[in-house]
Amino acid sequence: MCKLRYKTPQAWTDTVLANLDAFLIDHAAAEKKASGMAISMLSHYPDKPDIVEAMIDLSIEEMMHFREVVKIMSKRGLQLGVDTRDPYVNNLRKLTRKGSDVYLLDRLLLGSVIEARGCERFGLIAEALPPGELKAFYIAITESEARHEDLFEKLALNYFEQSVVEDRLNEILEAEADIVADLPIIAALH
């Protein structure tokens, strides 16, 4: 499991709780993008049955999360927003190397790190919310993100030696810490 090198500050949680509607809109967009990323992965690696199967399941699960967030938004009178670029994800993608093997490794490990950050942040929200439906939802989302993080690491270990995976994961985690530390504190997942 990823050991994030940067702890999200309390100010982020406070900002999200103060503007939960904006966060929900961003959360829905993130779930939709995560489902699309899984479809992209299975399309890019049709010769790797373990990745295809895992990404089918992941895309469905992420789309179910999207549906649940949209239901919560509807109850609050909210609508989906326009898709925007996620600076966090875009900066992480710049870390991907060229070459089929290293590109595969980097995509899998970036998936793991993104899921780890989501797990951390959804967990912070779940912990801070009062008892109720929304808290239960974010507890479930946190548990799901933890499974996804493990999924990407396990897939990487199907193709690469553990030392290679660990060394590259450490490099990515160091870079991710710098990226997330530079993000503005707003009511968004990243």
- The per-residue pLDDT for range 38-88, each reduced to its tens digit, is 999 999 999 999 999 999 999 999 999 999 999 999 999 999 999 889 999
Q: Looking at residues 11-25, what average pLDDT do you find?
A: 98
DSSP 3-state assignment of 1?
A: coil
Per the domain annotation, does 2 fall within a domain? no
Per the domain annotation, does 5 fall within a domain? no
Using CA atoms, how far apart are residues 16 and 185, in angstroms rounded to an integer? 9
Are 156 and 41 a contacting pair, CB within 8 Å? no
Q: Looking at residues 152-173, what average pLDDT do you find?
A: 97
Per the domain annotation, does 58 fall within a domain? yes
Are 76 and 24 a contacting pair, CB within 8 Å? yes
The structural domain count of the chain equals: 1
Per the domain annotation, does 3 fall within a domain? no
Per the domain annotation, does 190 fall within a domain? no
Token readout for 168 is 């590259």
| Lookup result for tokens 């049955």 | 49
Per the domain annotation, does 49 fall within a domain? yes
Give 78-131 as a DSSP string. Answer: --PPPP---HHHHHHHTTPPSSHHHHHHHHHHHHHHHHHHHHHHHHHHHHHSPS
* CATH number of the domain residue 32 falls in: 1.20.1260.10
Average pLDDT of the residues of the chain? 96
Question: How much is the pLDDT for 1?
Answer: 60
Question: How much is the pLDDT for 147?
Answer: 86
Burial of residue 76 (CB within 10 Å: 0-12, 13-18, 19+) is exposed
Per the domain annotation, does 52 fall within a domain? yes
Q: What angle do CA 39, 43, 48 make, to 5 degrees?
A: 110
Question: How much is the pLDDT for 83?
Answer: 87
User: Is residue 144 predicted with pLDDT exceeding 70?
Assistant: yes
Using CA atoms, how far apart are residues 79 and 63, in angstroms rounded to an integer? 17
Locate all alpha helices (DSSP H) within the chain, ordered by sequence: 10-18, 20-44, 49-75, 87-93, 100-128, 133-157, 162-181
**pTM beyond 0.85:** yes
Per the domain annotation, does 143 fall within a domain? yes
User: Is residue 178 predicted with pLDDT exceeding 90?
Assistant: yes
Containing structural domain, residue 16: 10-181
